[in-house]
Structure 1
Amino acid sequence: MPEQPFTPNQIFNLSLSTIEQRITEYYQESQNSSTVVQLLLALRVRYQLGAEEFALVLKDLVKYLFMRTKATKTMKRFIFYFQDYFESAEWRQVHLRVFPVRNFIEKAKSMILSPIAKLFSLEATTT
Structure 2
Amino acid sequence: MSEQPFTPNQIFNLSLSTIEQRMMDFYEETQDNATTIQLLLALRVRYQLGAEEFALVLKDLVKYLFTRTKVTKTMKKFIYFFQDYFETSEWKRINLRVFPVRNFIEKAKSLILSPLAKLLPIEVAAT
- Establish whether TM, by shorter chain, passes 0.5: yes
1:33 aligns with 2:33: yes
Q: Which residue of the partner structure matches residue 103 of structure 1?
A: 103
Output the aligned Cα RMSD: 1.4
TM-score, length-normalised on structure 1?
A: 0.92
Structure showing greater Rg: 1
Find the residue that maps to 1:50 and give its secondary structure: coil
Q: Which amino acid aligns with 1:65?
A: L
Residue 121 of structure 1 and its aligned partner are, at CA, apart by 3.4
Aligned equivalent of 2:118: 118
The aligned residue for residue 43 of structure 1 is 43
The corresponding residue for 1:59 is 59
- For residues 23 and 89 of structure 2, the distance between their equivalents in structure 1, rounded to whole angstroms, comes to 27
Query: Deviation at 1:112?
Result: 1.2
Q: Which aligned segments of 4 or more residues in structure 1 are displaced greater than 6 angstroms?
A: none
Do 2:37 and 2:75's aligned partners in 1 also have CA atoms closer than 8 Å? yes
**Do 2:37 and 2:74's aligned partners in 1 also have CA atoms closer than 8 Å?**
yes
1:2, CA displacement in angstroms? Answer: 3.6
Contact 2:2 2:32 (C-alpha < 8 Å) held by counterparts: no
Across the two proteins, how many residue pairs are aligned to each other?
123
In the alignment, structure 2 segments of 5+ residues that lack a partner are none
State the alpha-carbon separation in 2 of the partners of residues 107 and 80 from structure 1.
20
Matched to 2:12, the amino acid is: F
Give 5+ residue unaligned stretches, structure 1: none
Amino acid in the other structure paired with 1:89: S
What is the DSSP-based 3-state SS (H/G/I as helix, E as strand, rest coil) of the residue aligned with 1:75? helix
Q: Map 1:1-12 onto structure 2 (within 5 A).
A: 2-12=2-12
> Kindly, what percent of the aligned residue pairs are identical?
76
